[in-house]
Amino acid sequence: MKIGWLTLLLLLPFVGALVTMAVPKAKALLSKQVALGFSLVVLVLTAIVAVGYHQNGAEKYNETHTWIKAFGANYALGLDGVGIVLVVLTALLTPVVIIASWNDADNGRWSSKSFFAWILALEALSIGVFSATDVFLFYVLFEATLIPMYFLIGGFGGPQRSYAAVKFLLYSLLGGLLMLASVIGLYVISARAGDPSYLLSDLIKLDMSQNTERWLFLGFFFAFAVKAPMVPFHTWLPDAAGEATPGTSVLLVGILDKIGTFGMIRFCLGLFPNASEWATPVVLVLALISVLYGALVAIGQTDIKRLIAYTSISHFGFIVMGIFALTSQGLTGSTLYMFNHGLSTAALFLVAGYLISRRGSARIADYGGVEKVAPVLAGLFLFAGLSSLALPGLSPFISEFMVLAGTFSNHKVIAVIAVLGIVLAALYILLMYQRTMTGPVRDGIEKLKDLNAREILAIAPLVVLIIGLGIFPKPIVDIIKPAVESTMQRVGVTDKAPEIPVTEGQK
**Contact positions vs another protein (CB under 8 A):** 67-71, 109, 139-144, 146-147, 151, 154-155, 161-162, 165-166, 169-170, 173-174, 177-178, 180-181, 184-185, 187-188, 191-192, 194-196
Smallest distance, another protein to C-beta of residue 206, A? 13
Smallest distance, another protein to C-beta of residue 111, A? 10
Smallest distance, another protein to C-beta of residue 261, A? 21
Angstrom distance (rounded) from CA 142 to CA 132: 10
Taking the least distance from each CB to another protein, the nearer of 272 and 318 is 272
Smallest distance, another protein to C-beta of residue 243, A? 12
Taking the least distance from each CB to another protein, the nearer of 100 and 223 is 223
Residue 235: count of CB within 10 angstroms of its CB: 13
Taking the least distance from each CB to another protein, the nearer of 68 and 204 is 68
Identify the DSSP state of 303. B
CA distances from 42 to 38, 55, 92, 267, 476 (A): 6, 20, 9, 27, 20
Smallest distance, another protein to C-beta of residue 432, A? 31
Amino acid at 344: S
Smallest distance, another protein to C-beta of residue 113, A? 12
Smallest distance, another protein to C-beta of residue 184, A? 5
Angstrom distance (rounded) from CA 319 to CA 407: 11
User: Three-state SS for 147?
Assistant: helix
Question: Could you tell me which of 396, 382, 393, 389 has the C-alpha nearest to residue 459?
Answer: 382
User: Three-state SS for 224?
Assistant: helix
Taking the least distance from each CB to another protein, the nearer of 222 and 316 is 222
Query: What φ, ψ does residue 74 adopt, rounded to 5°?
Result: -125, 150
CA distances from 318 to 230, 304, 338, 456 (A): 10, 22, 10, 30
b/e code 32-66 from CB counts within 10 Å (16+ = b) = bebbbebbeebbebbeebbeebeeeebeebebeee
Smallest distance, another protein to C-beta of residue 216, A? 11
Is the peptide bond preceding residue 232 cis, with omega within 30 degrees of 0?
Answer: yes
User: Three-state SS for 443?
Assistant: coil
Taking the least distance from each CB to another protein, the nearer of 115 and 316 is 115
Smallest distance, another protein to C-beta of residue 166, A? 6
Angstrom distance (rounded) from CA 503 to CA 507: 7
Is the peptide bond preceding residue 95 cis, with omega within 30 degrees of 0?
Answer: no
Helix (H) or strand (E) holding 293: helix 273-299
Taking the least distance from each CB to another protein, the nearer of 54 and 109 is 109
Half-sphere exposure of 172 (CA within 13 A, CB side): 24
- The strand pairing partners of 68, in sequence order, are 73
Taking the least distance from each CB to another protein, the nearer of 42 and 165 is 165
Rg (the chain; Cα; Å): 22
Smallest distance, another protein to C-beta of residue 97, A? 22
Taking the least distance from each CB to another protein, the nearer of 150 and 401 is 150
Taking the least distance from each CB to another protein, the nearer of 58 and 180 is 180
Taking the least distance from each CB to another protein, the nearer of 179 and 347 is 179
Residue 255: count of CB within 10 angstroms of its CB: 28
Taking the least distance from each CB to another protein, the nearer of 139 and 433 is 139
Smallest distance, another protein to C-beta of residue 3, A? 17
- The strand pairing partners of 75, in sequence order, are 65
Query: What φ, ψ does residue 93 adopt, rounded to 5°?
Result: -70, -30
Are 128 and 137 in contact by the 8 Å Cβ rule? The answer is: yes
Identify the DSSP state of 132. B
